[in-house]
Each structure stands twice: as structure tokens, then as C-alpha cells.
Amino acid sequence: MLIIPPGIKAQEKFKVGDPVPNFDLPYATKDTIVFTGIKNEDMKGSRYILAFYPADWSPGCTREICTFRDEFTDFRDMDVEILPISGDYVYSHHQWAKHHNLNFKLLADHTRSFGDKMGVYIDEYGMFKRSVFVVGPDGRFEYIDYEYSLNDDRDFRALRKFLKEQR
């Protein structure tokens, strides 16, 4: 298992108010794989979370994604869609989503091009730095956490608090 050492920083490229870069990524759910994917244009008018994570099946990522799953109703009640993204293939996403009964789309950025655009791709490790972005209905960043941590639930609570304040 590859662990990203502490101190590895994402490259902070965006700030609140900037438009989300274009993306067009395939995704998987527990029920299907969609190669035609989802585009940022498809999300216009919606609030959504882009949650970058290193890899399916790893303990930390499983804990993070299962927390989103367990809090899914809360996010849905806030009209927020969760879109986790890693560099894994959609086939891995599909199996992982089935195994953990995930109730949202897992976006696959296997070329790492969107993650690179976002400043979260760490070339020396070949994976994404855990980071969370909230995109508003206008397609602009409302919340950015380039250093989202699983050391405790502080970052998750801050994200949820922010979203509740937006209602």
C-alpha cells in the first residue's frame, strides 16, 4: 500500500469565486458504469462536492468515502451532490461501490488531467492529494480545502457546517 507522507502539499491553483475548470469524466455507481460520463456543464444549477482521493480500496479512502455514504441523506437534504474522484479505472470504482453499497457516482480521472488542472495530482506518487471543493449552482468554487484531512473529523465537520449555512 502506498501512503502519501505528511507534508506533501497540493498546488493551490484556485480560490473561492473562481470557475471550476471544464471536466468530462466517466463514472461508476454500484449499479452501472457510464463511459459517456458527466461534465461540469451537466452540473450547472446544482451544488456539488468534488472530493479528490488517492485510491479505491485503501483504508483511509474507504473511511472517507463511507463517511460520505453514511451522511448521504444529510447532503441530499442540503441539495448537494457528492462526486468523489480518483485516478482509478471505472471498473475498480464499480466493484468498490458495490462492495461498500455507495449511493453516489465515483468519477474516474485515469489520465489524471483534471486532477492536474485542479492542482491535486502528485506526479511522484501517481495519485491525487486528498482535497475537497464545493462548486455552487453558478459553476464557481464556494469552498476549497486543499489539505482535507482524515486525522480527525474536523475537516468533515467544517465542510458540513459550511454547506448547512448555504441553505
Over residues 112-140, the pLDDT tens digits come to 999 999 999 998 888 999 999 999 999 99
Active site residues: 61
The whole-number average pLDDT for the span 99-107 is 94
The span from the CA of 37 to the CA of 130, in Å, is: 22
Q: What is the pLDDT of residue 57?
A: 87
Over residues 4-14, the pLDDT tens digits come to 555 556 677 89
The span from the CA of 149 to the CA of 61, in Å, is: 11
Q: Which of 24, 37, 15, 14 is nearest to 118 (CA)?
A: 14
Q: Which CATH number fits domain 24-165: 3.40.50.360, 3.40.30.10, 3.40.50.1950, 3.40.50.720?
A: 3.40.30.10
pTM of the model as a whole: 0.91
Q: What is the pLDDT of residue 4?
A: 52
Give the amino acid at 145. Answer: D
Q: Which tops the pLDDT comparison, 20 or 61?
A: 20
> What is the domain partition of the chain in residue ranges?
24-165
Does residue 101 carry a pLDDT above 90?
Answer: yes
Q: What is the pLDDT of residue 15?
A: 94
